[in-house]
Amino acid sequence: MALGIGGPPLRRKGKPLRATSPLPCAAPCPYLAAMIPLPPALADWFAAQGWTLHPHQRQMLDLAASPACLLIAPTGGGKTLAGFLPTLAELGAAPAPGLHTLYISPLKALTADIRRNLRRPVEGAGLAIRVEDRTGDTTFTQRRRQRADPPHIWLTTPESLALLLSYDDAPRIFAGLRRVIVDEIHALAESKRGDQLMLSLARLATLAPGLRRIGLSATVEDPPALARFLAPDCRILQADPGPDPDISMLETEAAPPWAGGGGRYAIPAILDQVRAHRTTLIFHNTRAQAEIFFHDLWLQNTDNLAIAIHHGSLAREQRDRVEAAMTAGQLRAIVCTGTLDLGIDWGDVDLVIQVGAPKNVKRLVQRIGRANHRYNAPSKALLVPANRFEVVECHAAFDAVRAHTLDGDPRGPGPRDVLCQHILATAAAGPFDAGALYAEVTTAGPYATLTRPDFDACLDFVATGGYALRAYDRWQRLMLRGGQWTLRDPRAAAVIRQNLGTIVDTETLKVRLKGRMGTPLGEIEEAFAASLTPGDTFLIGGQVVRYEGLREMTVEVTRQPGRDPKVAVFSGTKFATSTLLTQRIMGIFAKKTWPELPPHTARWLALQREVSQLPQADRLLVETFPYEGREHLCLYGFAGRNAQQTLGLLLTKRMEDAGLAPLGFVATDYATLIWGLEPVTDVAPLLDAANLRDWLEGWLAGNAVMKRSFRGVATIAGLIERSHQGRRKSGRQATFSSDILYDTLQKYDPTHLLLAITREEAMRGLVDFGRIEEMLARVQGRIDLIALLRVSPLAAPLLLEHGRVPVAGAGQERLLAEAAERLLAAAGLA
Amino acid sequence: MSGYGFSLAGQALVALPSGALHWPAQGLLCVSDLHFGKSDRLARRGGALLPPYETRATLARLDADLEATAARQVICLGDSFDDLDAADRLEDSDALWLTRLMAGRDWTWIAGNHDPGPLALGGSLRAEVRLQTLTFRHIADLGTTGEVSGHYHPKARLAGQARPCFLLDDTRLILPAYGAYTGGLRSDDAVLTTLMGPKALAVLTGRRALALPMPR
DSSP string computed for A689-735: HHHHHHHHHHHHTT-HHHHHHHHHHHHHHTSSPPPPGGGPPSSS-SS
A489 vs B46, B51, B207: nearest CB: B46
Residue B14: per-residue pLDDT? 97
Which regions of chain A are under pLDDT 70? 1-36, 75-76, 260, 339-347, 370-377, 409, 471-474, 505-508, 516-517, 525-533, 541-542, 550-553, 562-575, 698-705, 723-736, 766, 802-816, 829-830
Is B181 touching A (CB cutoff 8 A)?
yes
Cα A152 to Cα A87: distance, rounded to the nearest angstrom: 9
Is B158 touching A (CB cutoff 8 A)?
yes
Q: How far is CA A614 from the centre of its chain?
A: 33
Residue A98: per-residue pLDDT? 92
| Closest residue of chain B to A805, computed from CA coordinates | B160
Residue A526: per-residue pLDDT? 64
Residue A21: per-residue pLDDT? 35
Name every chain B residue with its beta carbon within 8 A of the beta carbon of A741. 50-51, 181
Cα A264 to Cα A268: distance, rounded to the nearest angstrom: 9
Angle, helix A689-700 to helix A769-779, in steps of 10 degrees: 170
Q: How many CB atoms lie within 10 A of CB A592?
A: 6
| DSSP H stretches of helix in A170-286 | 170-174, 185-188, 192-207, 223-230, 267-276
Contact B159 A816 (CB under 8 A): yes
Name every chain B residue with its beta carbon within 8 A of the beta carbon of A824. 211-213
Name every chain B residue with its beta carbon within 8 A of the beta carbon of A489. 46
Structural domain boundaries in chain B: 4-213
Is B170 touching A (CB cutoff 8 A)?
no
- Closest CA of chain B from A735, distance in Å: 6
Domain B4-213 bears CATH identifier 3.60.21: yes
- Closest CA of chain B from A743, distance in Å: 10
Cα A618 to Cα A778: distance, rounded to the nearest angstrom: 5
Residue A237: per-residue pLDDT? 94
A316-336 pLDDT per residue, tens: 788 788 888 887 888 999 998
Residue B26: per-residue pLDDT? 96
Residue A18: per-residue pLDDT? 38
Domain A30-238 fold: Rossmann fold (3.40.50)
Residue A356: per-residue pLDDT? 87
Q: Is the backbone peptide bond immediately before A150 cis, with ω within 30 degrees of 0? A: no
Name every chain B residue with its beta carbon within 8 A of the beta carbon of A492. 46
A365-393 pLDDT per residue, tens: 877 776 665 656 677 889 999 888 889 98
Contact A741 B51 (CB under 8 A): yes
- Closest CA of chain B from A821, distance in Å: 7
| Closest residue of chain A to B177, computed from CA coordinates | A736
Contact A749 B51 (CB under 8 A): yes
Q: How many CB atoms lie within 10 A of CB B107?
A: 18
Which regions of chain B are under pLDDT 50? none
Contact A736 B91 (CB under 8 A): no
Domain A246-402 fold: Rossmann fold (3.40.50)
Residue A86: per-residue pLDDT? 93
Residue B159: per-residue pLDDT? 64
A553's torsion region: left (phi>0), alpha (psi -120 to 50) or beta?
left
Q: Is residue A328 helix, strand or coil?
A: coil
Is B119 touching A (CB cutoff 8 A)?
no
Q: Are A106 and A184 in contact (CB under 8 A)?
A: yes
Residue A17: per-residue pLDDT? 35
Is B199 touching A (CB cutoff 8 A)?
yes
Residue A704: per-residue pLDDT? 62
| Closest residue of chain B to A474, computed from CA coordinates | B44
Name every chain B residue with its beta carbon within 8 A of the beta carbon of A720. 48
Q: Are strands A520-525 and A508-513 parallel, antiparallel or unpaired?
A: antiparallel
Q: Is residue B164 helix, strand or coil?
A: strand
Q: Which residues pair with B124 in a beta bridge?
A: B108
Cα A686 to Cα A146: distance, rounded to the nearest angstrom: 62
Domain with CATH 3.40.50.300 in chain A: 30-238, 246-402
Cα A130 to Cα A123: distance, rounded to the nearest angstrom: 10
Q: Which of A550, A733, A737, A745 to probe by mutation at the B interface, max B CB count within 10 Å?
A: A733
Residue A364: per-residue pLDDT? 83
Name every chain B residue with its beta carbon within 8 A of the beta carbon of A732. 153, 183-185, 189
Contact A815 B159 (CB under 8 A): yes
Name every chain A residue with its beta carbon within 8 A of the beta carbon of B40. 471, 474-475
A735 vs B159, B183, B186: nearest CB: B183
Residue A452: per-residue pLDDT? 98
Is B72 touching A (CB cutoff 8 A)?
no
Name every chain A residue with its beta carbon within 8 A of the beta carbon of B211. 820, 824
Q: Are strands A351-355 and A280-283 parallel, antiparallel or unpaired?
A: parallel
Contact A740 B183 (CB under 8 A): no
